[in-house]
Structure 1
Amino acid sequence: MKKLLVIATAFLAVLTLAACGSKSATTTKTVKIGVVGTDDRIWNAIAKKAKKQNIKIKLVHFTDYNQPNAALKQGSIDLNAFQHYYFLDQWNKSNKGTIKAIGKTVIAPIRLYGGKGVTSIKGIKKGSQIVIPNDPTNEGRALTLLQTAGLITLKKAALPTPNDITKNKLNLKIVPVDASQTARQLSSVSAAVINDSTAQDAKLDSKDAIYVEPVNKASKQWINIIAANKKDVNNKTYQKIVKLYQTEATKKLLKKYYGNEEIPAWDITLK
């Protein structure tokens, strides 16, 4: 009888362990998040906290800005975190998309970097070449930056293009290229407008920028977001990830790693 009791107890213990293992496996949820760029330090920190809540974050890297929304719409990823409000709005209009923002992350001001020994705006001479990103929203943003810097004048347009330039006193040659190529052009042009993530990947020091996009009321459209498909806006797991991102701990990490390059935007007051 004692032997039977020992065997029965051992059998029950095995069943209990198996059940616990099964329960653990079923309650851990994997969430694929699409990102652009290779600097994962902030998301790696979020992933560690998410793991404690039985959420496994898997980052999916893309090389250009057109891929993550298409992947989200198709369902190959669950969320993405790479774009600002304006980019999402334009993408939805162009692709009949219904992707929605579910949380704010940062504002990442774009910067004008000098090339060929150019260390200030004054160093940009007549006939100089300046490269800018060629995707519609960032192209318009870059042109607005050049106007704010006093290099060109634009006519009023919701999304300016080079055709909207009305004054170009220095006869600058403004060349749109793929955003991922802007930093690489610095060795052959006078200046380049470069997105934050591209500048980071190119190991550019933001302190070397010769002009920085001002952060003000007009910056609301440039706030970066975590986005989901419309049907998943209220998904509890996804909302947990947003909350894990929007913390004081994340603010400290952003300051530590990026200084003023990436500004926490979920509770910012724009003036």
Structure 2
Amino acid sequence: MKKKNIIIWAIVVVVIAIVGYFSFGGGQKKSTNKTVTIGIMAGVKQDDAIWKEVSKTAKSKYNITLKFKKFTDYTQPNKALSNGDVDLNAFQHYAFLNAWNKANKTSIVAIGKTVITPIRLYSDKVKKVKDIPDGATISVPNDATNESRALFLLKNAGLITLKKNTSLATVKSIAKNPKHLQIKELDASQTARSLSDVTAAVINTNYAQAAKINYKSAIYVEPVNKDSEQWINIIAANKKDKNKQEYKDVVKAYETAKTKQTIKKQYGTAEIAAWDIKLK
């Protein structure tokens, strides 16, 4: 009887050990797969190709599955992020985010960098910036962030100077205008169409592409320097989530040499990988 009890207890101990082993993951591979949903803008095949490459890296290296929610309106991705409809978004630069947070009282933060898309000055009338005549008309986008960007471009091109400590420039921020340029403010989508009516136009790359304007034909390209830092595009998260490891891993999956190669393949020099650029 004593021997029988010993056998029964031995069986019980083994069963408990087996149950505990499997319960705590010792007998099976623990699943660490995560799914992260990112809000992006729709309709850009080049960006889709870049994110496809990033998705491969995220899955193979960090066991993260990336899903995408596409938007057609620039006001939507930050709303979706604040509402929890997406985990991250990647569509905006620092200047847009700062303006959004201020206007909407949100706490969205940048957790990684993606690309910078330099804006360019185009002309059908002159071949070089120095040939822009006195009194020439230059069209610029009229929304706050892009107008500021355009005016900083004109400043860097040596056409105007801006008042000291200007961050968000308007035409009122112009300190010196030696060529007496006339600044024509237009909706950003109309600047490309204005080329035939003005001496030169500052045009965002996406609108230049839509108008079949070769970005290589620009007479001046926005330099990558301290002035342009605010135009670097970012991966953004809600502030409370900025330290989540899976989100940090998504950033790592993006900021790779392979992603940089894909950006160059898709965009040439129209877009530049921004996470390791040196700002002069």
* Residue of structure 2 in register with 1:112 after alignment: 121
* Residue of structure 1 in register with 2:203 after alignment: 194
Deviations, residues 91-130 of structure 1 (Å, cap 9, x unaligned): 2122211001011112222211113x43322443344332
Structure with higher Rg: it is 2
The correspondence for 1:143, drawn from 146, 151, 167, is 151
Q: Is the 8 A contact 1:36 1:197 kept in 2?
A: no
Q: Does 1:230 align with 2:239?
A: yes
Q: Does 1:159 align with 2:168?
A: yes
AA of the residue aligned to 2:137: Q
Deviates more, 1:162-171 or 1:103-112: 162-171
Aligned equivalents of 2:269 and 2:137: distance in 1?
A: 28
Aligned equivalents of 2:191 and 2:83: distance in 1?
A: 29
Q: Is the 8 A contact 1:85 1:225 kept in 2?
A: yes
Q: Provide the aligned C-alpha RMSD in A.
A: 2.8
The correspondence for 2:187, drawn from 178, 181, 185, is 178
**How does the TM-score come out when normalised to structure 2?**
0.76
* Residue of structure 1 in register with 2:17 after alignment: none
Deviations, residues 203-247 of structure 1 (Å, cap 9, x unaligned): 432211111112224433332211111222123333232111111
Aligned equivalents of 2:77 and 2:185: distance in 1?
A: 21
Residues 1:68 and 1:203: Cα distance change in structure 2 (over 3 Å): farther
Equivalent pairs counted in the alignment come to 246
Q: Does 1:60 align with 2:84?
A: no
Aligned equivalents of 2:232 and 2:110: distance in 1?
A: 11
* Residue of structure 2 in register with 1:4 after alignment: none
Q: Is the 8 A contact 2:64 2:246 kept in 1?
A: no
Deviations, residues 42-62 of structure 1 (Å, cap 9, x unaligned): 123223444553513214133
Residues 1:261 and 1:219: Cα distance change in structure 2 (over 3 Å): same
Q: Is the 8 A contact 2:117 2:271 kept in 1?
A: yes
Q: Is the 8 A contact 1:196 1:261 kept in 2?
A: yes
Aligned residue runs from structure 1 range 1-271, under 5 A:
29=35, 31-35=37-41, 38=44, 39-40=46-47, 41-50=49-58, 52=60, 53-63=63-73, 65-115=74-124, 117-156=125-164, 157-271=166-280
AA of the residue aligned to 1:46: V
Percent sequence identity is: 56
1:130 is paired with a residue whose SS is strand
Deviates more, 1:165-174 or 1:140-149: 165-174
Residues 1:181 and 1:227: Cα distance change in structure 2 (over 3 Å): farther
Q: Is the 8 A contact 2:39 2:77 kept in 1?
A: no
Aligned equivalents of 2:134 and 2:232: distance in 1?
A: 34
1:118 is paired with a residue whose SS is coil
Residues 1:227 and 1:203: Cα distance change in structure 2 (over 3 Å): farther
Deviations, residues 104-157 of structure 1 (Å, cap 9, x unaligned): 112222211113x43322443344332222222221121011122122232222
Q: Is the 8 A contact 2:160 2:176 kept in 1?
A: yes
Aligned equivalents of 2:234 and 2:206: distance in 1?
A: 14
**How does the TM-score come out when normalised to structure 1?**
0.78
AA of the residue aligned to 2:77: P
* Residue of structure 1 in register with 2:7 after alignment: none
Residues 1:55 and 1:86: Cα distance change in structure 2 (over 3 Å): same
Q: Is the 8 A contact 1:36 1:82 kept in 2?
A: no
* Residue of structure 2 in register with 1:17 after alignment: none
Residues 1:126 and 1:77: Cα distance change in structure 2 (over 3 Å): farther
Aligned equivalents of 2:185 and 2:55: distance in 1?
A: 36
AA of the residue aligned to 2:37: V
